[in-house]
């Protein structure tokens, strides 16, 4: 990211003051990342809540200051200062979320994934949370890694780079070479105590939801939160992710051009995961090369194929299709590198999804019945025409690229905006009752479309759907 104006540096103070700051660099963002690398993750529930509340107040103050200063300014100046305020707020949010890490940082990743939902400054700055979040300084990890691997990494591997080349919400990744073979690997190391931060954040979120206890959907909402908490707990279990990687690797043939890294269990534990190193560009750097439309389309096809194949052939919902989890390789292959957030479908999940898909092309009444069952709606909720129309419209939006014969143009921002408005209206009206598994189906479908929109791909999704969905209708029958 390019350097920002000097006054922005004065506003990046959401975190507790350091006794000694690292030497200043060329931009406020780089200074911020340097400071954060020397901070352990705060674990106490109230400590995390205080940091989050202070961050929220500072962001609100920045926008209030813009509003007060801009009352008598020209339209051009108001627009310019608003853009500067967006950037300042985004930098503050990046700093606060990077400090807290864990579940809070995942919220930032979701914000950065979806174009046209927040100002572009937020998408650009928070995009660092996908894989360029500030890594912890290795001095904070050394004892933790030694305990996991039984020795210092410099002894376990032929080579080990102590400076992480990627970092995200739950851990960071270091390059290394295996002993003997010298093969390049990526070693993902979990942040110490990150599981405790997840427990603290969910305790705080449940406290915020206390007013919902009188709602008839409170029990269902608790089930959904319990499922999300369970997924985050699984994401901190790298042995579980290793099994997801094994399942995913078995889904693709070499000529399909989708690369899932191999795991090396002999140098992996529950909190350290060693995988084959995959070399490629993340989405922003790939788009900076100004790729031709044909190449965008080919990668778009691979993204859809990867999600559909895992879903239909392996019963695995790839629930986190976002820029940090894909690598665009120079030989035209697509690397899929993070399988922590994957939902393994149950027999009930498969039945519900199969019923909805089989009625897509039959009649609205049959589809409505399938949606009522799949969403676990009460008879009263199923009779609510406003609710049902919104849900049916949302399903129609999800289905639209599949209904299109021939390539669907994901560069059409009107399509994505309609989806944002529909889902926002469902949330605004508190139409949140659903089977917990639908959280992951929705996240997968929405995230995949956000990737395709960023890529501006034109893809025949209908053809891929027809080919891949046959797995679902033949498996187990």
Q: What is the CA radius of gyration of the chain?
A: 23
What's the pLDDT band for 195 if we cut at 50, 70, 90? confident
For residue 269, the 8-state DSSP code is: -
- Evaluate if residue 473 carries a pLDDT over 50: no
- Return the higher-pLDDT residue of 249 and 170: 249
The string of pLDDT tens digits covering residues 343-381 is 999 999 988 888 888 887 777 888 899 999 988 899 999
Q: Answer yes or no: are the C-beta atoms of 345 and 351 closer than 8 Å.
A: no
Report DSSP letters for 20-34, one per residue: SPPPP-SSHHHHHHH
Higher per-residue confidence, 304 vs 442: 304
Please report the pLDDT score of residue 20 as a whole number: 40
Confidence class for position 297, pLDDT limits 50, 70, 90: very high
Q: What is the mean pLDDT of residues 142-153?
A: 91
Q: Which residues contact 170 (CB under 8 A, 6 or more apart)?
A: 101, 102, 190, 191, 194, 235, 236, 340
Q: Provide the b/e sequence for 128-141 (b: ≥16 CB within 10 Å).
A: bbbbbbbbbbbebb
**Interatomic CA distance for residues 405 and 459, integer angstroms:** 10
pLDDT at 68 over 60: no
What confidence tier does 106 reach under pLDDT thresholds 50, 70, 90? low
What whole-number percentage of the chain has pLDDT above 90? 42
Burial 276-312 (b: 16+ CB within 10 A, else e): bbbebbbbbebbeeebeeeebbbbbbbbbbbbbbbbb
pTM recorded for the entire structure = 0.73
Residue with tokens 């929405």: 446
Structure tokens given for 314:
């392996």
Residues 127, 107: Cα–Cα separation, whole Å: 12
Q: What is the mean pLDDT of residues 309-337?
A: 94
pLDDT in tens, 257-270: 999 999 999 999 99
Angle ∠(180,181,187) on CA atoms, nearest 5: 95
User: In which band, very low, low, confident or very high, does the pLDDT at 16 lie, cut at 50, 70 and 90?
Assistant: very low
Output the pLDDT for position 237: 93
**Tokens describing residue 243:** 């099994």
How do 258-259 and 334-336 pair as beta strands?
parallel
Report the chain's mean pLDDT, rounded to a whole number.
77
The CA-atom distances, in angstroms, between 426 and each of 213, 221, 393 are 19, 14, 10
Assigned token pair, 8: 């922005």
With 70 as the cut, is the pLDDT of residue 450 above it? Answer: yes
pLDDT at position 124: 54
Separation of CA 409 from chain center? 23
User: Beta strands 326-328 and 171-177: pairing type?
Assistant: unpaired
Q: Work out whether strand 171-177 and strand 258-259 pair parallel, antiparallel, or are unpaired.
A: unpaired
């Amino acid at each position: 990211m390019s350097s920002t104006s000097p006054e922005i540096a004065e506003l990046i103070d959401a975190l507790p003051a350091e006794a000694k700051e690292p030497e200043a660099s060329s931009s406020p963002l780089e200074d911020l990342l340097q400071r954060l690398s020397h901070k352990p993750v705060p674990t106490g529930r109230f400590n995390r809540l205080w940091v989050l509340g202070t961050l929220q107040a500072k962001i609100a103050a920045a926008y209030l200051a813009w509003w007060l200063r801009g009352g008598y300014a020209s339209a051009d100046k108001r627009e310019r200062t608003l853009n500067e305020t967006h950037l300042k707020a985004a930098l503050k949010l990046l700093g606060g979320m990077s400090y807290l890490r864990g579940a809070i940082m995942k919220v930032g990743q979701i914000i950065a994934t979806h174009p046209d939902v927040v100002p572009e400054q937020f998408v650009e700055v928070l995009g660092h949370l996908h894989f360029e979040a500030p890594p912890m300084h290795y001095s904070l990890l050394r004892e933790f890694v030694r305990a996991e691997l039984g020795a210092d990494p410099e002894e376990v591997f032929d080579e080990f780079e102590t400076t992480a080349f990627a970092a995200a919400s739950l851990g960071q990744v270091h390059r290394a070479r295996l002993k003997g073979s010298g093969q390049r690997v990526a070693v993902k190391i979990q942040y110490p105590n990150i599981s405790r931060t997840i427990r603290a954040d969910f305790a705080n979120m449940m406290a915020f939801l206390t007013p919902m206890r009188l709602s008839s959907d409170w029990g269902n909402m608790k089930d959904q939160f319990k499922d999300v908490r369970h997924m985050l707990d699984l994401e901190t279990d790298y042995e579980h992710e290793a099994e997801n990687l094994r399942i995913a690797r078995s889904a693709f043939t070499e000529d399909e051009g989708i690369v899932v890294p191999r795991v090396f269990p002999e140098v992996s534990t529950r909190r350290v995961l060693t995988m084959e190193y995959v070399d490629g560009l993340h989405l922003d750097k790939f788009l900076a090369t100004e790729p031709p439309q044909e190449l965008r389309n080919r990668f778009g096809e691979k993204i859809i194929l990867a999600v559909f194949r895992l879903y239909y052939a392996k019963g695995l919902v790839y629930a986190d299709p976002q820029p940090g989890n894909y690598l665009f390789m120079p030989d035209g292959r697509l690397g899929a590198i993070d399988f922590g957030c994957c939902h393994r479908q149950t027999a009930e999940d498969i039945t519900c999804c199969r019923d909805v898909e089989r009625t897509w092309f039959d009649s609205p009444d049959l589809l409505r019945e399938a949606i009522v069952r799949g969403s676990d709606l009460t008879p009263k909720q199923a009779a609510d025409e406003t609710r049902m129309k919104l849900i049916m419209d949302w399903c129609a939006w999800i289905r639209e690229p599949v209904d299109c014969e021939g390539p669907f143009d994901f560069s059409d921002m009107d399509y994505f905006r309609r989806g944002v408005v529909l889902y926002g209206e469902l949330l605004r009206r508190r139409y949140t009752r659903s089977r917990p598994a639908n959280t992951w189906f929705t996240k997968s479908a929405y995230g995949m479309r956000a990737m395709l929109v960023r890529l501006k791909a034109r893809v025949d999704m209908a053809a891929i759907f027809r080919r891949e969905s046959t797995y679902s209708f033949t498996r187990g029958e």
